[in-house]
Structures are given as structure tokens and as C-alpha cells.
Structure 1
């Protein structure tokens, strides 16, 4: 296979490949003629025919496996017919057994820790209750040119219309797929802990985004021994079992001392702050920092019975400078890009005994662990959870001391 002289790329070419190890991002690595090919819809050890879908002319390109010549024993028929090349981009691993999906994710976490943090560690990705389907409680769809709601194709603006989604909690999409929408509208759906469906339409008219709440608006969730009322479309764990599981791990590892000081960074509505508050007691202090003003308002209302929790609204890196120090324990749950150098250094300035880091991206987690490592904080424990079955995403909790 040679590069097309007219385009300088392999775009559109079909190549026979021996598929190698899994890589971060929902694909596997293959190599041919000195180039790396990131292949979706394949599994390690397979031999496939793959069509190149993206090639910018550098040392690598991306491709979709369109035919499996030699299949992995872990390959299964995807439960959704749209989990295929050129179709819906929401799921990465429907063609693998659930057990093998977790093994692939574990391999990614281990590789990122080794490559980015210099840490060699065995990792097991644990399944959450409920199985690999019917778990997604929060969904964003988009209306295509025909007004039908669907999901975008992988790395594309093209909309794939759907009648349902097998990873979404049953009943959540009934009122979405049964009607026509303004083309280009984004439709946000949440099914909360009480089974109520909340529906919001975000459409752009004359360059301005218009938000219309069509059903519900205030979600009720249950976790960490509390009932929560919050903006239905604000941040909450997508998997119904995740919030309780993560709160339990934070409670076990934080060990905030009675009358002590704790920080909950990127606090959302205060799930982990509630755990820390119960540990430090009424004479302790918990600082909860969250940039979303609506989340802070919801957090203040939900934790009104815990006056030891003090809320600050703003960016974490800006508010830690005058935070109470020293601090005994820090819990952080940053966005997918991670905390970064400024936040890590601000945390270290507080001299916490323990840091509990909740992460939805293993690469960002590994980069931040490497930063903490430079300041003498080592990785003591790590648990990983399959909070997003059928996708490449994985939730990790790390304990640093």
C-alpha cells in the first residue's frame, strides 16, 4: 500500500491489517509500511480489512474494520445494529464480550500509568450492578435535517436517526424519538432516580440558543444515604449505580479526621462533600469549590443541614490561593482534561495527608499523578469501574499519599 500521490494520504483505501494492542480512545493499534493505523471495530489479535477514514499525511491514520478475516474469541454480535462502521459513534466495544471490554479498559489504564507516570501496576476494572445495557440515564441527541432525533456518527456532524438506544435506560427516549424537532436542535434527556424523565430542547434561532424545558427540570437522585434535588441537566453520574459506589470508595479512603479540614474540588452538588462532612463532624470544615453557579446553589440547598460545608463558586485554580491551610484530606473530581499543574501545586501547598482523585480519563489521571509524584505524593491504591459499558470510557479512583 502506497500513499496516493494525488492526495498525499491513504484516505478511502482498504488495507489488510494484523491488529495489535488496544489504545486509549476506543481503537486498537496496527502497523503497516512504517505507519501506525488506529483501527475501530476491531479487537487485539484479529486480522481485518480496514478502510482508512482519516489521514492527515503524518505517521499515523485512522480506519474502520469493515471485514473480519480472523476473529478474536472475544468477539460477539453487537446488540445494536448501529454499532458499526459509518454508523453511530456512541459505543466503541459492543463487538466484545463485557468481560473483555473491562480487560481492554484495564490494559489502557495500565498503559497510561506506565507511559505517563512511570508506574507499573496491575489494574482490574470492576463491573457495576445492572449489566452492560440499559444504564445510560443522561443522553444528548441532535435532530437531523429531517427533524428526526439521533446521534452523530463517529468524528462527524452527520446525524444517525434512532428508534431507541440499548445502553440507555428503558423509556428515557420514548418522547424524543416519537416526534419531529427543529433541524439542528439538541435534545437533553435525563431519567432520574425516581424514574421521571426530564426533557430539554436547545435550539439555535437567528444565531441565539434558545432553551426550552419540555418536561420536568428538577431531578431527584439517591446516593450516599441522602436524597438529592438538582438541575436535571447539571452534573450527576450517568450510571445509576456510580454515585453510590464512588461515594463509598471516597468515604473509605479519605479518612478525614474528626474536627479536621477537607477540600472537595470540582464539587458538583456536593456528593463527596457530604461524605467528608460526616467524617470531620460539626466542628470540622469542608471547603467545596465548584465553577457552576447552579450546581453551587443546588449543593447549598441539599447540604443545608451540614453547616461545616462552605461553598465557593469559581475556578479551582483561582480559589485555592486563600483556602484554609493546612488541609487534612483533598478529594478532587476534575473534568476530563484533568486538574493540571496549577491545581496540583495548589493542592500540594496545603500539605494534605491524603488525596483522593476521581477521574473519568486515564490519561489525564496519569499526567496528574506524575505531577503529584514530583512533589512526593505516591500512588497507594487505585480502583477502576466500568461506569460506561460498551464505550471506551472508564472511571478510576486513586489514593495518593
Structure 2
């Protein structure tokens, strides 16, 4: 069988694929658009599998929503023509922004219908990286320059690189148009990174000092470490993580960055979690407070589950005041340490590091007026949903980065008699298939 097929692309599917069929078998195709006629290079095509995967390498009949790709290394058509794989991280870069959002909304609707048995109209809201100009006439900003965090690989020649999708192959990169300008100005594109395995970069939207973290592939002499530091723009802090997972060693500046959102201040280390879109913290904070704010007040109790560095813990603490109480739970030790540093002077905030279901068991019998639930991509899971159903808080704000796991969890809430009051979806990852949602859930009457 040839690994090159001519296919008619069907609807969009969760994960950034369109659905096509070949001789009755489903083929999940990346880098296409619904309705297009294309040539597809199969990337996974084992005979025993119920579905195959492939990439578009040529377009026979293009969708009106197709445009030139925003980033050459991620352009599948150009990549295959050059005999290489496209990098991940911008798989929707060939699609007009308005169409990207329509496709993401379709995925959210489909997942809600299939997994939560809920028919709901959904619109994905644009979140410009910069405030639109008065004369712009649109909320779109091109969907570029929004990433405040980037993770890079290093190729065999010691150059900054990124991985191809579902592959160990690396492709050297010389720019990153999705990143904020502060990352581009660091000068990493021309640095000799021999001996480095991975490079993490954080550039706070507040404009404070960026942080570059080198993960070393081997122990390096001090002279080599000095060369790495000198290759990075002087305005940035630099840390290194040894090859055996030791604690980061600060080589210059600080081992953390200072983040700010809606007037609240946070400390986040290189290993800590923070929302990557420069406007995401304020956008999500506004939506979450719109959900749980009405049930909070002085003396109220709240829980921030999967709290990260405490993005939502801070406004919850302000809402309940010193006479209230906020439980902030995070599983990652490093990120939890960040939160403890941020809230060490807040006596009414208890920052706990551990699995959410274990901490909730320890607090069983305690009723919270409001809960913020912001789990990782895998979702909260049946046990956490069951515990929240039993606890019956006044309101739950569910922040989700994956529509499938959210719809699954939502289905369990609905089965228990809860109701979905509203749901908002935000385009916090332009040029990718990812979408963020915030939902307000309440116990049944």
C-alpha cells in the first residue's frame, strides 16, 4: 500500500484533526480543513489499527479559509516539500483566525453532546495579546506574539530547535512568531547550545526580567556554563538544571520571575506553572470571579483546586477577607512552593501540596461556599467529582484546557443532579487546536 492517499476531508475532530475515510477506515488528518480535497502522507498506518493518522502534503481543492502559514517550520506543505516533518505548536497556522475559532467551538459542542449528552451553543471568544487600537475595527491581532513561555529542544548541531508532532525528530528554528517580543530579543537563536538538552523560557507580561532555564544533557565545566550565560541577553536571568534532575542552579539574576495579574503579584520559578497567553491570567480571573463571586463575601470559605502558583487563590483570598478561609491545593512540589512564597503572609490561606482527592478526604465534612477547579489536561476525574458532589459547595468554577475531559467530568456532575449555569470559551492558544473554557456549575435544587 502507498503511504500517499488522496482524501476528501470531513469534519473537525478533537485534537486538531479532520476526519477522512479510506476504504472504510477512519484517517485522522492534520494540517487540513473540512471540505478540502488533499493528498495525505500517512504517519501511522498499521494494518491492525482501527484508524490511521496522516499529514496534508498537497492541497487539490483548498478551503476559502486556508491562508499562507504564519510560521514556516510548522507549515506542513513546505516541510514535506523540503523532505522534513513540520514542527508542532502551530497546527492551525494555515487557517484564518475566525475559522479557527469556529472549528474550536464545533469541537467543544461535539464533546459536550457526545460525553455530557448536552446540546449547547458555544462561541469561542477572541483574546488579543494587546489591547486593540481604537481604529483597528476588530478584536483580532493576528493571533501572534502571545506566548510568555516557550519550551525548545536542541538539535544535534547545538541549535535551538523544536520537535515534530509525535516524533523525536528535531527541526532547527530561527524565530517564534507566537512568542512575545521579549523572548525573541533574548538572542537564543544564535547561541551554541552544545551540551544542552532543553531550553525553557519565561518572559512575564508585566515586563519584568525574563528567565532562561537550560536543562543540561551532561555535566558541563564552569567555563562552558559561563559561555551559555554570556550568550543570553543581559536583561535575563539564567538557571541550569543538571542531567540528573538536581535543583536548578541560578547562574545569573534570579531563579524565578515576578508575575502580575489584576493587581495581584506572584512569584513563579522556572519549574512552576503559569498561564502562557499574556492576557490569560486576567481573562480567566475575570471569568472565574464572575462565576463564584456572587457566593463569596467576608467570612466565606473557598477552595482553589489544582491551584498552580495561586492565580485564583489571590482574588479568592481578597473576596473572603481575613475572616474567611481559602484552601489552595497543588500537586506539583515546585509550583506549590511558589504559592507558599506568595501567600506566606496570608494567615487565612492554607497552601497544601498533594493530590487533590487526598486533601479533599482530609477536609471531608467541611463545606466550601465556592470551589475553583482548574485541573490539568486529563481533567479532575470521577473521584474528585464525586467528592465535590458530596461536599455540595455553593458554586464550582471549572476551568478546562481540554474539552473532552471537561465534557466527561461535566457528565458526571449532571448525572448527580447538578446543573450547568453557563459556559464561556476563550481562544487563549491561537494558531493551535487548543481552547480554554470556564463553566459555572451548581448543585441541583
Q: Judge conservation of contact 1:220–1:227 (CA < 8 Å) in 2.
A: yes
Q: Judge conservation of contact 2:325–2:348 (CA < 8 Å) in 1.
A: yes
- Aligned-pair CA distance for 1:195: 4.4
- Aligned-pair CA distance for 1:301: 2.8
> Which residue, out of 164, 169, 177, partners 2:175?
164
Q: Report matched runs for 1:1-400 at 5 Å.
A: 4=1, 13-57=3-47, 58-85=49-76, 86-130=85-129, 131=141, 132-173=143-184, 174-182=186-194, 185-192=197-204, 193-205=206-218, 208-209=244-245, 211-215=248-252, 216-254=254-292, 255-258=294-297, 259-323=299-363, 325-400=366-441
Q: Judge conservation of contact 1:199–1:217 (CA < 8 Å) in 2.
A: no
Higher mean alpha-carbon deviation, 215-224 vs 107-116, is at: 215-224
**Structure 2: distance between partners of 1:304 and 1:244:** 23
- Aligned-pair CA distance for 1:84: 2.2
Q: Secondary structure at the match of 1:96?
A: coil
- Aligned-pair CA distance for 1:226: 1.2
TM-score (norm 1): 0.93
- Aligned-pair CA distance for 1:66: 1.0
**Structure 1: distance between partners of 2:114 and 2:380:** 18
- Aligned-pair CA distance for 1:60: 1.2
**Structure 2: distance between partners of 1:66 and 1:373:** 43
Q: Judge conservation of contact 1:198–1:214 (CA < 8 Å) in 2.
A: no
**Structure 1: distance between partners of 2:250 and 2:144:** 27
- Aligned-pair CA distance for 1:94: 0.5
- Aligned-pair CA distance for 1:213: 4.2
Q: Judge conservation of contact 2:111–2:404 (CA < 8 Å) in 1.
A: yes
Q: Which runs of 5+ in 2 are unaligned?
A: 77-84, 130-140, 220-242
Q: Secondary structure at the match of 1:283?
A: coil
Q: Judge conservation of contact 2:295–2:394 (CA < 8 Å) in 1.
A: no
**Structure 2: distance between partners of 1:317 and 1:283:** 26
In the other structure, the counterpart of 2:81 is: none
Q: Judge conservation of contact 2:208–2:257 (CA < 8 Å) in 1.
A: no
Q: Which runs of 5+ in 1 are unaligned?
A: 5-11
- Aligned-pair CA distance for 1:32: 2.2
- Aligned-pair CA distance for 1:175: 3.0
**Structure 2: distance between partners of 1:213 and 1:54:** 42
Q: Secondary structure at the match of 2:312?
A: helix
> Relative to structure 1, is the Cα distance of residues 89 and 214 closer, same or farther in structure 2, using a 3 angstrom cutoff?
farther
Higher mean alpha-carbon deviation, 25-34 vs 192-201, is at: 192-201
